[in-house]
Amino acid sequence: MKGKKYASCWKNQEGIHIREQAEINKKAWEYRAYEFWNRRNGSPREHAKNIARDPLASLSMHKRYFADIRGKKIANPCGSNGRKAVPLALLGADVTVFDISEENRKYALELAREANVEIEYVVGDFCETDLTAYGERFDMVYAEGGILHYFLDIDMFTKTLYGITRKNGLLILSDFHPFRKVISDGSLMFSAPQTMGNYFDDGVHYGDVAYQSFFPEVEQSLFPKCLLRFYTLSEIINAVISAGFMLKEFWEHPGYEDGKLPRLFTIVAGKRD
């Protein structure tokens, strides 16, 4: 992606360049990702058939926001393998995915082709999105699936979300609940053991790419590491507000493993006139 280059000169308090983090995470997410999606979801042809049966079902807890999206332009930052972009396109939206991985792009475009829809797929660091091309372009921005920890500067991330959203547009931001920062034993799928149970940990940590554990243990040592920063709930909400969005809704969603604990959250926010 071209445009304003923030990452080349910005460092966090530990002296790590944003671009360094992006390059590390790109390397991790381009290692056997296409193979993983085929293993977990089946081939693009098989997965497309499953999605086509009920596109709204693929949007799970957020499907009520997408009941009438025909003709709308929707951005899907960090949209991975197209698992949300393709059902959105099947529902009539004009969808653009932003993601750092060529391997994800390969699966997503094959998935779209098998579903007989088109999506635009932009590979690069989302925080370097070209706002001359994508500024205020989208009616809706749908960012979900455990992505915030891949960004060293959450304010830069939310400002980019704001920059691509049209006036009166809608942001739907859903991610792992920061409560996972206090679950340090890795017993839950969404825990963050790197923080050692410290909710206010603001360090940068190396961690496994999300799908590494799906491969045989003997192969896992070959996987490149990701560089991660885990945020508190207040950091996330304040970043959305500081970017200029107006909060409309905030939801916490229970976990699959233990319904007594929060697993995910969803922020719904609008762009002011």
The DSSP line for 225-249 is PEEEEPPPHHHHHHHHHHHTEEEEE
Mean pLDDT, the chain, rounded, equals 91
pLDDT band, very low/low/confident/very high, at 11 (cuts 50, 70, 90)? very low
Angle, alpha carbons 177-105-131 (nearest 5°): 75
Separation between Cα atoms, residue 226 and residue 110, nearest integer Å: 26
pLDDT band, very low/low/confident/very high, at 16 (cuts 50, 70, 90)? low
pLDDT band, very low/low/confident/very high, at 185 (cuts 50, 70, 90)? low
Instruction: State what percent of residues in the chain have pLDDT above 90.
Output: 82
Whether 172 shows a pLDDT value over 80: the answer reads yes
Separation between Cα atoms, residue 33 and residue 219, nearest integer Å: 14
Single-letter amino acid code for the residue at 140:
M
Question: Pick from 235, 222, 225: which is nearest to 267 by CA?
Answer: 235
Separation between Cα atoms, residue 63 and residue 214, nearest integer Å: 28
Question: Is the Cα torsion angle 30, 31, 35, 41 positive or negative in sign?
Answer: negative
Whether 126 shows a pLDDT value over 50: the answer reads yes
- What domains does the chain contain, in order, with CATH numbers? 20-271 (3.40.50.150)
HEC letters along 54-103: CHHHHHHHHHHHHCCCCCCEEEEECCCCCCCHHHHHHCCCEEEEEECCHH
Separation between Cα atoms, residue 13 and residue 33, nearest integer Å: 31
Please count the residues of the chain. Answer: 273
- CA dist list (Å): 9 to 18, 26, 114: 8, 19, 42
Q: pTM for the whole thing? A: 0.91
